């Protein structure tokens, strides 16, 4: 894991302040250290959420648990960080669910295009039975899953031309996450997708290895993709959660009281981080436009053209993901 340089961050935009810590000091035996690694940079909402997590855990353990934060993939990308948790060399990470689909096939639910019509529906699913089932399912293979935050709704950027319709994607080289549904989505839309680790993405865009990529506004901004991408389209094509994971080897050494403290802190971090990310979208779009990026918002008819074109993806993955699960989410959207 050594030898990687942290992805560079820009100056952090204005964000809602970190809340005060609620709750009493938790008494338990032992002193512990948590290294918490994430792929997004220090200027993103995810890092701000981690700062809140650190504050809660350090204050409520009265300093007996120390948290150290490693943003910008400096300890590895999402997949590398997860393996480090499994081998016990890293205590915590919060990856996008998408690269973990090979490990936890049900996570593919989150990769279905246009599944969550609003953030409220995403919250209902993540904070309800389905979200709990998924946390249980991910609590194997040396991992303990203790909460949800979000990366958010994904938007397309590219260096070639404005994109307002699927036809504009013809031949466009788009980097996707390492995930088969995302590959299917971009092939179905007519683009030329290449899966790649997030840690390599900035350089790949800069060197023109790929023409475009897709990520939520906050991640586009905090990763400085506007410096190497002139066009952005607000497609909202997929909603990506972040899942908060702990190394099982570390977890099993913690007293039950501290395990509960981490669960509570993960829950509070998740709520705060979603709030931060969502409250910043308009400001970020404005900042990106001010920096010279062309931001395209789609009309409902234009969105529908993307939805229609990508619809076959549902048929391709329905059996693997489970039709019932998809229907449950659809029901929550009514």
The footprint of ligand TK8 (CB under 6 A) covers 39-40, 78, 95-96, 151, 177, 198, 215, 219, 240
Residue closer to ligand TK8 by CB (options 96, 235) is: 96
Q: How far is the CB of 95 from ligand TK8 (least distance, A)?
A: 5
Residue closer to ligand TK8 by CB (options 67, 174) is: 174
DSSP 93: E
Q: How far is the CB of 215 from ligand TK8 (least distance, A)?
A: 5
Please, what is the end-to-end C-alpha distance for the chain in angstroms? 45
Residue closer to ligand TK8 by CB (options 215, 233) is: 215
Residue 286 CB contacts under 8 Å (≥ 6 apart), including other chains: none
Q: How far is the CB of 315 from ligand TK8 (least distance, A)?
A: 25
Residue closer to ligand TK8 by CB (options 32, 36) is: 36
Distance CA 171, CA 194 (A): 12
Adjacent-strand bridge partners of 297: 234
Which residue has the CB atom at the shortest distance from ligand TK8? 39
Distance CA 92, CA 244 (A): 7
- Among candidates 235, 222, 229, 238, which has minimal Cα distance to 157? 229
Q: How far is the CB of 78 from ligand TK8 (least distance, A)?
A: 5
Tokens encoding 288 = 């990106």
Residue closer to ligand TK8 by CB (options 61, 93) is: 93
Residue closer to ligand TK8 by CB (options 78, 211) is: 78
**b/e 80-90 (16+ beta carbons within 10 angstroms → b):** bbbebbbeeeb
Q: How far is the CB of 116 from ligand TK8 (least distance, A)?
A: 15
Q: How far is the CB of 160 from ligand TK8 (least distance, A)?
A: 19
For the chain, give percent helix, strand, coil, nearest 5.
45, 20, 35
């Amino acid at each position: 894991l050594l030898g990687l340089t942290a992805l560079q961050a820009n100056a952090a935009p204005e964000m809602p302040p970190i809340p005060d810590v609620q709750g009493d000091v938790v008494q338990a035996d032992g002193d512990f250290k948590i290294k918490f690694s994430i792929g997004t940079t220090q200027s993103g909402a995810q890092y701000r959420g981690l700062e809140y997590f650190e504050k809660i855990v350090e204050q409520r353990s009265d300093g007996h648990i120390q948290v150290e934060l490693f943003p910008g993939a400096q300890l590895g990308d999402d997949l590398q960080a997860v393996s480090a948790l499994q081998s016990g060399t890293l205590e915590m990470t919060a990856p996008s669910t998408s690269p973990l689909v090979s490990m936890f096939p049900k996570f593919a639910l989150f990769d279905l295009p246009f599944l969550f019509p609003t953030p409220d529906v995403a919250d209902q699913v993540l904070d309800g039975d389905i979200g709990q089932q998924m946390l249980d399912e991910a609590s194997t293979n040396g991992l303990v899953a203790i909460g949800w935050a979000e990366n958010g709704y994904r938007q397309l950027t590219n260096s070639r031309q404005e994109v307002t319709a699927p036809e504009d994607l013809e031949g466009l080289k788009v980097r996707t996450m390492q995930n088969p549904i995302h590959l299917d989505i971009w092939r179905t839309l007519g683009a030329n997708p290449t899966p790649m680790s997030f840690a390599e993405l900035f350089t790949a865009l800069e060197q023109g290895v790929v023409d475009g990529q897709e990520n939520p506004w906050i991640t586009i901004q905090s990763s400085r993709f506007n410096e190497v991408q002139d066009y952005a389209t607000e497609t909202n094509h997929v909603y990506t959660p972040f899942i908060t994971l702990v190394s099982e080897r570390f977890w099993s050494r913690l007293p039950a009281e501290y395990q509960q403290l981490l669960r509570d802190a993960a829950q509070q971090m998740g709520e705060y981080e979603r709030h931060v990310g969502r409250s910043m979208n308009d400001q970020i779009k404005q900042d990106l436009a001010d920096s010279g990026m062309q931001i395209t918002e789609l009309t409902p008819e234009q969105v529908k053209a993307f939805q229609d074109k990508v619809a076959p993806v549902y048929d391709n993955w329905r059996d693997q993901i489970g039709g019932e699960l998809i229907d449950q989410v659809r029901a929550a959207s009514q």
